[in-house]
């Protein structure tokens, strides 16, 4: 768990708030990912960054905005979210196509 | 579009039993397959990674097999312990791109 860290671990926000989730990896990897895990749904990939460039965006609403300033840090900026966006947001990293390592997640509640 | 299914969705066994978790996928053109463990409210812990050219991987009491042509993988847990209680997730990476497609998971409860 210490290889990939996420902050905050829990976040409660109103629909008009702006907040950011942070992920940091200490594994020297060159790819980072954001996933969303909702109740009773499989994990869904949101964004992939490889070599600091966004490679995939699975049609995620624009109220989610990722940022990858360097290979060790990944942010997810949130604004005007909806209650259905409440979920566990997981960050992961990998070296190329190899094994992905996950952080502990941020439990987000949108009121 | 790749779809991953895990059966059963939930499983309860007494301590000491050997058990098998199943994962099936619709598109056999995979790059690798990964098994994860997730404790309630926590992140994922990688258990085993099987490359498309491999048939199985072992780590301690865990053994994962892969039959690409039939679109199946199994995770075998020997001599189950209460500490094995968790949700087990299977994820497939296709040949194209970095995307992992996850199954819905199997929630395992091992009773003392």
Q: Are A76 and A61 in contact (CB under 8 A)?
A: no
Q: Are A47 and A31 in contact (CB under 8 A)?
A: no
The burial class, CB within 10 Å (0-12 / 13-18 / 19+), for B72 is middle
Q: Which of residues 50-89 of B touch A (CB under 8 A)?
A: 89
A98 contacts: CB under 8 Å, gap ≥ 6? B49
Q: Does B4 touch chain A (CB under 8 A)?
A: yes
Q: Which of residues 31-50 of B touch A (CB under 8 A)?
A: 31-32, 34, 36, 41-46, 49
**pLDDT value, residue B71:** 96
| Record: contact B44-A55, CB cut-off 8 A | no
**pLDDT value, residue B98:** 67
Residue B17 to chain A, least CA–CA distance (Å): 27
A62 contacts: CB under 8 Å, gap ≥ 6? none
| Alpha-carbon separation of residue B41 from A28, A57, B47, B76 (angstroms) | 26, 25, 18, 24
| Record: contact B103-A42, CB cut-off 8 A | yes
**pLDDT value, residue A95:** 92
The DSSP bridge pattern shows strands B100-102 and A106-110 to be: unpaired
Q: Are B93 and B99 in contact (CB under 8 A)?
A: yes
Q: Does A75 touch chain B (CB under 8 A)?
A: no
**pLDDT value, residue A51:** 79
Which of B98, B103, B105 is the best residue to mutate to test the A interface, defined by the most A CB atoms within 10 Å of its own CB? B98
Chain B residues near residue A58 by CB distance under 8 angstroms: 99
Show pLDDT as tens, one digit a residue, over chain B (112 residues). 899 999 999 999 999 999 999 999 999 989 999 999 999 888 899 999 999 999 999 999 999 999 999 999 999 999 999 999 999 999 999 876 668 899 999 999 999 9
| Alpha-carbon separation of residue A83 from A66, A88, A108, B9 (angstroms) | 20, 13, 10, 26
Of A41, A96, A42, A89, nearest to A64 by C-alpha is A89
Q: What is the average pLDDT across A67-90?
A: 94
pLDDT tens, position by position, A17-69 = 899 999 999 999 999 999 999 987 889 999 999 877 787 777 899 999 999 99
> Which one of B4, B42, B46 has the shortest CB-CB distance to A100?
B46
Q: How many helices (H) and strands (E) does chain B have?
A: 0, 11
**pLDDT value, residue B35:** 97
**pLDDT value, residue B97:** 66
Which of B4, B7, B23, B44 is the best residue to mutate to test the A interface, defined by the most A CB atoms within 10 Å of its own CB? B44
| Alpha-carbon separation of residue A10 from A6, A80, A108, B56, B90 (angstroms) | 10, 18, 6, 38, 26
């Amino acid at each position: 768990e210490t290889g990939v860290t996420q902050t905050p671990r829990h976040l409660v926000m109103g629909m008009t708030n702006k907040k950011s989730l942070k992920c940091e990896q200490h594994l020297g990897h060159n790819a980072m990912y954001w996933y969303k895990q909702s109740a009773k749904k499989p994990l869904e990939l949101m964004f992939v960054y490889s070599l600091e460039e966004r490679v995939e965006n699975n049609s995620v609403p624009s109220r989610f905005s990722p940022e990858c300033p360097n290979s060790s840090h990944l942010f997810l900026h949130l604004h005007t979210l909806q209650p259905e966006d409440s979920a566990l947001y997981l960050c992961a990293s990998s070296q190329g196509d190899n094994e992905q390592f996950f952080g502990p997640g941020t439990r987000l509640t949108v009121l | 579009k790749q779809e991953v299914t895990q059966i059963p969705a939930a499983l309860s066994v007494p301590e000491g039993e050997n058990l098998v978790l199943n994962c099936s996928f619709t598109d056999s053109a995979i790059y690798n397959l990964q098994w994860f463990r997730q404790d309630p409210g926590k992140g994922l812990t990688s258990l085993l990674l099987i490359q498309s050219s491999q048939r199985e991987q072992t780590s301690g009491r865990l053994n994962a097999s892969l039959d690409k042509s039939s679109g199946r993988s199994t995770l075998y847990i020997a001599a189950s312990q209460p500490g094995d209680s968790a949700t087990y997730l299977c994820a497939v990476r296709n040949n194209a791109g970095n995307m992992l497609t996850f199954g819905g998971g199997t929630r395992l409860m091992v009773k003392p």
